[in-house]
Amino acid sequence: MKFDAVYYEPDSLNYPLGKQLKENYGSLPWIAIENHNAIQEMREKPNAEFARMKRNLIVGTRKTHKYTENHKVSDYLVPYTSSGCTAMCLYCYLVCNYNKCAYLRLFVNREQMLDRLIKRSKTAGRELTFEIGSNSDLVLENTITENLLYTIPRFAKEGSGRLTFPTKFHMVDSLLDLPHEGKVIFRMSVNPQPLIKRVELGTSDLKQRITAVNNMCQAGYPCGILIAPVILCENWKELYTELFEELKEGLTEKARSQLFLEIILMTYSYVHRAINGEAFPGLPDLYDKEMMTGRGRGRYCYRIEERDKAESYLRTEIKRILGDVPILYIS
């Protein structure tokens, strides 16, 4: 991956990962900043610069470590080694939190974060599942930091319960031989390939993602698939039926037999519209005023009648094509 510059908190260079990044990206300009959350120069850039801003790496330390309760696949969302991402999915949920500053930030105090996580996992009194990838894409991040190579074997050896993270990337080869002890649940997020091309800019193709699931499953990782986010565009029924057929064709029997699904319908917002309209003027507008609620400056989601119709269609097609694969939730 090519970057233009690294913005860094000087203290980051006191950590092993900070030193490593400096070595790996030493040929780029390194620009000192006071705080990764307040880079004035970035804040002042127009929305049209969104894609170019994503070509910078931001390096700092994570200062807040509050775990948030979650009641889906995991028990807690854990702020971990990164936030933001270099890809540009037009609906990316991180844009709601970071606005146009949804670029990739790397937090180099990983030893501190994993120590804390392992301790929490062992003192919980029961086996918990910790979601460590809710703020970024850890498979993508791992290609820059090797943080999963650090995290998975250490948690497998010292932690209790499970870790999980979702991804839209296929670069899992370096994870296959890691000792994971079945303690890491890998979840691949998929969408129909025509939507990946038009809407999930900079992510891996569907075929590559399916191969990654097969390989992770073969390596013994428990695996799930997120159909997310479901986008109710003009020909959505046809597209999602094709997707389920491609999953049926492409997934190995081993993967299909242990798989679970999560399904999330797209939410969108005023902020997404404002940024996408200026940064990607030729790309589709995902806001559909007929099908979505929320017309002001807030968040938009599909109307309840549309959601019900979609849920019923997706459940029927999954059952018809993929059989009795468990659907953990549709939200």
Please report, as ranges, the residues that interact with ligand SF4 according to CB under 6 A.
Answer: 85, 87-89, 92, 94, 136-137, 168, 200, 203
Ordered DSSP codes for 105-137: EEE--HHHHHHHHHHHHHHSSS--EEE--SSB-
Kindly tell me which of 6 and 85 has the beta carbon lying closer to ligand SF4.
85
Kindly tell me which of 54 and 183 has the beta carbon lying closer to ligand SF4.
54
Minimal distance, residue 168 CB to ligand SF4, in Å: 4
Token pair 């994503």 is found at 54
Among the listed residues 90, 67, 92, 71, the one whose alpha carbon sits nearest the alpha carbon of residue 80:
67
Kindly tell me which of 87 and 232 has the beta carbon lying closer to ligand SF4.
87
In the numeric block, which tokens belong to residue 32?
A: 């000192």
Strands 162-167, 184-190: pairing kind: parallel
DSSP state of 284: P
Kindly tell me which of 241 and 276 has the beta carbon lying closer to ligand SF4.
276
Length, in residues, of the chain: 331
Minimal distance, residue 104 CB to ligand SF4, in Å: 9
Cβ atoms within 10 A of the Cβ of 34, count? 11
Minimal distance, residue 102 CB to ligand SF4, in Å: 7
Minimal distance, residue 157 CB to ligand SF4, in Å: 29
Cβ atoms of 194 and 162 closer than 8 Å = no
Kindly tell me which of 56 and 203 has the beta carbon lying closer to ligand SF4.
203
| CB proximity list for 67: less than 8 A, separation 6 or greater | 76, 77, 78, 79, 120, 130
Q: Which residue is nearest to ligand SF4 (CB)?
A: 85
Strands 267-269, 299-302: pairing kind: antiparallel
Cβ atoms of 240 and 194 closer than 8 Å = no
Minimal distance, residue 181 CB to ligand SF4, in Å: 27
- Cis geometry, peptide bond prior to residue 284 (ω within 30 degrees of 0): no
Cβ atoms of 84 and 103 closer than 8 Å = yes
Kindly tell me which of 161 and 224 has the beta carbon lying closer to ligand SF4.
224
Minimal distance, residue 220 CB to ligand SF4, in Å: 25
Minimal distance, residue 26 CB to ligand SF4, in Å: 26
Kindly tell me which of 131 and 325 has the beta carbon lying closer to ligand SF4.
131
Return d(Cα 311, Cα 291) in angstroms, integer. Answer: 14
Minimal distance, residue 231 CB to ligand SF4, in Å: 12
Kindly tell me which of 145 and 241 has the beta carbon lying closer to ligand SF4.
145
